[in-house]
Structure 1
């Protein structure tokens, strides 16, 4: 017996809007569109079907997550209608939850579809009757477009588990909801690649059996690429292309005005994506809207973004900043562009379509003024400003156009030498001034900046040193400064800035002897070796992340071979030491027995001449999870690890351009290693063969290494496969 029941709660126009991208509600007239939009989803479909028909007898919950418009509902519909599932399940039920959820409506519609009894007033009786109707037969319930864990908790108990291989398929825009429903093997949908994007665009414009004109292929692929793999965007643009002439000129016009075309279809596109924004709690909305302050395709480092949010006052407590970012990523509103090996977010950005919505919303709410063209509009109501225009007249050229109560100003390239920052003196309440330029800076530090007493975040690049008057910025939390030429000497009065938490210098910087403690400093980048003294370290005791850098100008013979004592840095978690100074073959720094036991990440790059036999120093670090050795950091050709040498917490080991030829070790030396990466290791003859016995090892990656090293990696992989271990993967790039 086969019963197919489809019911919806809160039938809403939003679901119909998504028929061009994320949702294709069952409708015979839309069937061909549904087939089109599945381009590139065969693997996804196979994975979901296999999971739903698996041998697990218990009720299994399979989740599909991804950003709005990516095709979650379409994939779920194709799964629901799959021929194999028609015969596998006795009952198939489809529920669309939407943002307006009513449990009683769900129960009534369910009962209406699978039972004749509908005149029941008590919700508990309704739930009981639905459960009894599902008792016995093997069922598949698709719960589409669920937005919160509370809703899941409310409906989860409706569906009984009779150990008969019944299944629930859940789709959601929010990764945390998917993980909450079932943290095991969640299926996250990815954006389409260029090939599938182009195929989808062709089928939507020309039909599946209609060949496209060859002269339109190049420009067509550029249009598809600009949609950045989002089926919803491709569908909207394809609809527009279907109405214009099939000429090269017309398609070039579409490529040039793609963002404008999408903005002109708010119901079909931006409105769908807007659902995710409007579902945000109020405290996350300004964080999302602030992303409109960055140019198209801009990748912003996670640490920098968090510092900006804190300075802007968007974060209630500094310790919650990472949670805010992860929440927006979980909701698929911000995209991770780069990750660290351990999954930490390194850089993030925004899909162009979401950025279009964001720019529309910041203009509507007057949250931020974003100038990307030569058009100057009224800016009296906004407090946040971003100037991204490449050249020509701009509002920033005439600061009197900006209100005196401005809170933040972002400047991007081409403004640097034209902007008269002296006019900034009337921005008495400014909290953020960020000049995101490349290699050019101001001729000298604009002293007017030191009068902005409320400034919390300052990012600027100049040719000279910082003035002593920088200390007047007593509220400054983040200082990002780049000197155009040579190293930077910081003023002595910087020790008077009690609220500084992050000091990020572009080049090696000399820090003079302290006049007082800076207990709030947690990040210090590009401190010179000559400044690494007990006196300085003891006055920044709470530093968690430290980068030490050397340059020839800061190297003296009397400094060579000295020991850096870091014993006072008891909270240090991440340390990077960089030196590309080679002084007649002598070591420039001794690091033996100098690291705090709190250290989790260590990078050594350059001419340290660190002997392999002294690696026992690093073995003694109980919390070390990540070790990187780059560019001749180690001295010698042989590394022999004894049975006592055990990196008990190390998960990531990275070598680049290391003069290592012979490596002796065993799986016992790296008991929880997850990832081994070797780059430019052209002298290495073999990776220790029993590394395959490391149970936690997930991957070995080789980039431009010796042929012998590559063969040993393949041998390790093959031995593990022969033993039935398919978890270890070897990647070789030449």
Structure 2
């Protein structure tokens, strides 16, 4: 996964570099960059087939993926560092600059071509060996033990399933007479298999169906194994001898046998743990419909698969509430017929609550509690270290949850792992998350006409459908507003991110942050203690791409004086950031500054900036020509004045300001043909919060592709007396969402003051 992320980032960097720097990138340099781009595309194709090829020689492929990761990072570092130096020193924009850049590129071309040859050798060997019979290849693969492990852990999870069981049993024995598919979906460890097993063994079900068949699909689907499992179950219940020759029978003949033995009988087929729509397509035709109320009960972690099998009335399992969680924990520790010590009930409910309703986690923690002293202090220790306890049982819990992650397509894995960059229980706004994914380089358009934001939304919906990301809040129109991650899923996320060198999260409770691995590119500080910005960032390599600062910070400052030489003013400095020439993402969540740190404007590769301060944005912000997102958390009653130079920032996609902002109108510039044109921010999609006094035709003509806008009603008429004028938005033909806010003491704007575009959606 880390290799794939590095290659996708490199591809995006090369593509944007050639588009935005035509003065530097042409001639032989352009040819070299195109060659690097072609090699990176070759790596991407190879890695997308990695799951298939890894069966051939997993250790060799793993080693090769690490080489790809390293060389992709090295190429990207070199290209961006050289471009950074050229842009900072304008005198370099000459033939000499291109010659030096080309020579530096040639050194890395040799390294990347060497790695490519190794990949080609592997592909060639695999192609030769793959001519063997498909059944022989199946023998190389071991059956996954994770599913039996999950079943063993879930077998005794019964608390809180009574209502679900009643619903499922009614659907299985009720109408219609046609063959019907009943689906159960939910995240790993929530009890889907247990619920299906209880339904399968229910007394009413036993009397109702002539034959009950249980087959487990698992991630590595094998058609033959499913048919053999079905025949074995049928043979046991019909007194038909299970023939040993079945193992030599063809798949088509086995399918025909299953059909014949089910035809005319009322049967229940439980298909446990199905992962894809393709698998369902390949097996659903096996089961005949004799119009005798037969049923198929299907369990899956993928909501999309459940909806595909039967879009009507899917049964989605929910996490347990606190009372059911505590009862499950209590019964597993003390037994359903044994009393518990009264003194541990309060802390026990706290432990149950921290499991966030996931039965599998409760089961693991209960097993740990049975091995500890039944004292209040011991239980308090468990409550404080619950995540660490879960992490010490990887096969029991994290391994089960990890199955969903390992089944993800490559393009979704970095998006999932990035969620670990946020602290525990952090409410992640969808608009923020999407822009972070774009800035990090995880999103590439596929030529289908969709914007990067639309592709990112598809990725998020996919992760939610797979029950890896949770929806916490929705908008009035049903769109997802806030999302997050279950704490235990987040624990897996952080461990995987560290292991794959995707991200290093400093989340210990020590006073001193840990030293990260130099191979990491992303860092998140999530401790509860105050740390010096200098101390945090001094640990990081200069090639760092992303810094998330959630910890409380102590920031170095310098003293200056006003024009009279008196009244000392303390200015915050972030000079430590000047060493991160390749930084793309900088988020500073806790520290509120008095003024904008000018050193940040030297980070020319910055794409995403989130900061807190109470002052105007400096004109030098326009030096950040690659900036896509700027988020400023300011006091709501402070009006922030944006500089005119912001109109020169062509790559801005989102501007989000905590308080109302005044945006000056764009200037008219004279072109070579002596024609005037208005400077525009054509990529800007989201703008909040804009003063109503800035809502002019000139401003709106400069942001023609805006999709979301928040307007702040300004009662003051000090700006050219325009506070009560008509606001004409008809030029915003792409605008879909509009929100109007005002100061608590101010009346809301009348709807009569607006001319709305027809593109607004309800």
TM-score (norm 2): 0.73
Contact 1:468 1:491 in 2 (8 A): yes
Contact 1:61 1:167 in 2 (8 A): yes
Contact 2:530 2:553 in 1 (8 A): no
CA distance in 2, matches of 1:362, 1:222: 28
Q: Secondary structure at the match of 1:171?
A: strand
Choose which of 553, 567, 575 in structure 2 pairs with 1:415.
Answer: 553
CA distance in 2, matches of 1:179, 1:539: 43
1:474 counterpart residue number: 625
Quote the offset at 1:330 in angstroms.
0.8
Choose which of 287, 306, 309 in structure 2 pairs with 1:178.
Answer: 306
Contact 1:68 1:273 in 2 (8 A): yes
1:321 matched to 2:456? The reply is yes
Contact 1:380 1:403 in 2 (8 A): yes
Is the alpha carbon distance of 1:256 and 1:398 closer, same or farther for their aligned partners in structure 2, counting shifts above 3 Å? closer
Q: Secondary structure at the match of 1:441?
A: strand
1:346 matched to 2:499? The reply is no
Summarize deviations over 1:92-138 as a string: whole Å, max 9, x none: 00011111211011112322333434525221111011100001110
**Greater relative contact order: 1 or 2 (C-alpha under 8 angstroms, separation 6 or more)?**
2
Runs of 4+ in 1 over 4 A off after TM superposition: 392-396, 551-557, 587-590
1:669 counterpart residue number: none
The unaligned stretches of length 5 or more in structure 1 are 1-8, 25-33, 601-624, 626-734
Is the alpha carbon distance of 1:228 and 1:110 closer, same or farther for their aligned partners in structure 2, counting shifts above 3 Å? same
2:250 counterpart residue number: 122
CA distance in 2, matches of 1:554, 1:109: 78
1:237 counterpart residue number: 365
1:162 matched to 2:294? The reply is no
1:599 matched to 2:751? The reply is no
Quote the offset at 1:398 in angstroms.
4.7
Quote the offset at 1:590 in angstroms.
6.1
1:720 counterpart residue number: none
Q: Which has the higher helix share?
A: 2
After TM superposition, the structure 1 = structure 2 runs for residues 8-27 of structure 1, keeping only pairs within 5 Å, are 12-19=144-151, 21=153, 23-24=154-155
Choose which of 481, 488, 501 in structure 1 pairs with 2:653.
Answer: 501
Quote the offset at 1:573 in angstroms.
0.8
Contact 1:550 1:581 in 2 (8 A): no
CA distance in 1, matches of 2:485, 2:687: 28
Contact 1:296 1:352 in 2 (8 A): yes
Choose which of 693, 708, 712 in structure 2 pairs with 1:530.
Answer: 693
Choose which of 602, 610, 618 in structure 2 pairs with 1:451.
Answer: 602
1:615 counterpart residue number: none
Is the alpha carbon distance of 1:61 and 1:394 closer, same or farther for their aligned partners in structure 2, counting shifts above 3 Å? farther
Choose which of 343, 357, 360 in structure 1 pairs with 2:495.
Answer: 360
1:543 counterpart residue number: 706
TM-score (norm 1): 0.76
Quote the offset at 1:339 in angstroms.
1.3
Contact 1:560 1:589 in 2 (8 A): no
2:586 counterpart residue number: 433
2:339 counterpart residue number: 211
Contact 1:10 1:105 in 2 (8 A): no
Number of matched pairs:
577
Choose which of 315, 318, 325 in structure 2 pairs with 1:187.
Answer: 315
Quote the offset at 1:366 in angstroms.
1.4
1:576 counterpart residue number: 739
CA distance in 1, matches of 2:543, 2:506: 18
Quote the offset at 1:393 in angstroms.
4.6
Contact 1:561 1:589 in 2 (8 A): no
Summarize deviations over 1:522-566 as a string: whole Å, max 9, x none: 111110011011111111111111100034557669335321111
RMSD of aligned C-alpha atoms?
A: 2.0
CA distance in 2, matches of 1:398, 1:256: 25
Quote the offset at 1:12 in angstroms.
3.4
1:703 counterpart residue number: none
Is the alpha carbon distance of 1:416 and 1:559 closer, same or farther for their aligned partners in structure 2, counting shifts above 3 Å? farther
2:559 counterpart residue number: none
Summarize deviations over 1:48-68 as a string: whole Å, max 9, x none: 111111120111000000000
2:197 counterpart residue number: 77
Quote the offset at 1:284 in angstroms.
0.8
Contact 2:543 2:581 in 1 (8 A): yes
Summarize deviations over 1:411-432 as a string: whole Å, max 9, x none: 1141263595211111111111
CA distance in 2, matches of 1:61, 1:109: 19
CA distance in 1, matches of 2:597, 2:693: 28
Summarize deviations over 1:249-293 as a string: whole Å, max 9, x none: 111111111111111111111111111111111111111111111
